[in-house]
Chain A
């Protein structure tokens, strides 16, 4: 009969291997999750988290009572989210189809290499580049001025901030987002195209009946993942530009949590907003995944039948 300590002794190397990583995850991932209790407290820095008084759900009141700053943040987040799912999510699919239709493998690889380079640059770098090119004294406006044409006011202009943010994400991430679609396209069986051509399908019909069904599962998967961060719309990107365009046009939920909590020390309310935002994200992923299953897609994961 096996003694209770046989398994740990047998697996001691695996157990030791797990320790450092597990410790780090518990300390820097799960300990902060516990720290969310601050959302239910009136945090007093001099008392510490443990001794600060409990205040029930009063920190969450801002969510239902409609604090104007919170509503601004929520509204901006929604608009940017719709722009990002509508444009930043779909355009790479078109880009992948375009690239996939090229015949030369070499050309394909070169274009790909160029297009996904910006993904590896930090937001500070990307915004520096945008400011430099589109700013008031940048090359485009200098050219327009020298030729007595009106200048275009993009950087620091609150009216076009959401479009600018979308353009920046597109520049940075479109090439990277394209890779997974390209991989899915390359797995489509060429015989399907041949068979459909024999049946007299034109290019558009092939696109509809062969290419898009081949992409469907990866589109569903990525859309589910995207929904999980739907409320996360470029925190670093926006905080870097907030000074220039002002709060009204640029405050989103994450910057609200930062500005309200860390900058203005309204810890409890900020943590409450952050907590609800996180829970909504989890609910969106799980919900979208369930919906995908209903429609017969594999989705993110599938409960194994055991």
Chain B
């Protein structure tokens, strides 16, 4: 038994409990309130000052109105497109680049590594970034949001370190059996890296889903807005959602609509969160080398 925590007195333990409960409540209560408000009736929202903690009566009117048509379904489709295409491209190019750099002494290894590390140190500014996108003719294109985010030098460095940790016995024995670099990559390296790749993929996906500034900067056409920009316009800036923005003339209360948009933007994150969590601590290489 370590000395840590063993000799605490009752008041100390109570204080810790209270402190941690408060910290957790500060995070959980807002979530519960947002979901509850999005499911509440007009009378109850008015009664409780725009924020309901536990609804007496549950109604899905806000979600029905938002999903009948108008801005939200379109924005969700845009965000899903950006997230799926972006994550696929990110995983492919990050994995290949990291593998290409995983053998010191290979041709052009050092200069390319310098390029990657340099990208970590020097981030391009807002103005030159905008000019580049403009030069490439990508203003108002989804590619302007996707392409600059495809390769994160940080993820390349992490993944490269992981590839280099793969026991050389595995690689050498495959090479003796006549496997080429491509076969080693596909048959040995990739299967061993499934856990790391899923964590990196999820981080990329969360990044694309959350992309706000690049969309604000490069997508002027409101019809191309992803969820985050819709959220800014109708929730942060409080612009009214009217008949033109939702699919029905029978408008639910603004608060419920706003909170429903918020819930829609949070749900995908909550869905992938347990996977990120699980892979975090998982040992990956266990069992790859026996004996």
Contacts and interface: CB of A to CB of B under 8 A. Distances in A.
B168 interface: no
A13 B181 contact: yes
B269 A120 contact: yes
28 contacts: A11-B103, A11-B107, A15-B107, A21-B151, A22-B112, A24-B151, A25-B151, A29-B153, A31-B132, A33-B122, A35-B128, A35-B132, A103-B5, A121-B266, A122-B209, A124-B235, A124-B236, A129-B34, A129-B262, A137-B50, A141-B49, A142-B50, A146-B49, A203-B3, A235-B213, A236-B213, A243-B237, A262-B130
Contacts of B262: 125, 128-129, 132
Given A13-B180, A261-B126, A138 B119 contact: no
Contacts of A17: 96-97, 99-100, 185
A137 B49 contact: yes
Interface residues on B, range: 35 or more
A139 B33 contact: yes
Nearest to A45: B134
Contact of A271 (B34, B127, B212): B127
Given A35-B128, A243-B237, A139 B5 contact: no
Contact of A254 (B126, B209, B236): B126
Given A14-B181, A139-B50, A271-B125, A28 B265 contact: no
Interface in A155-203: 171, 175, 190, 193-194, 196-197, 203
B248 interface: no
Considering residues A18, A235, A277, which has the most beta carbons from chain B within 10 angstroms of its beta carbon?
Answer: A18
Interface stretch (B16-24, B54-62, B67-75, B283-291): B16-24
Nearest to A277: B125
B76 to A, nearest CB: 15
A262 B119 contact: no
Interface string B95-112: 011011101001110001
**What DSSP secondary structure best describes chain B's contact surface?**
helix
A38 B50 contact: no
Interface string A55-75: 000000000000000000000
A206 interface: yes
B188 interface: no
B49 A139 contact: yes
Contacts of B116: 25
A21 B96 contact: yes
B53 to A, nearest CB: 8
A114 B107 CA distance: 46
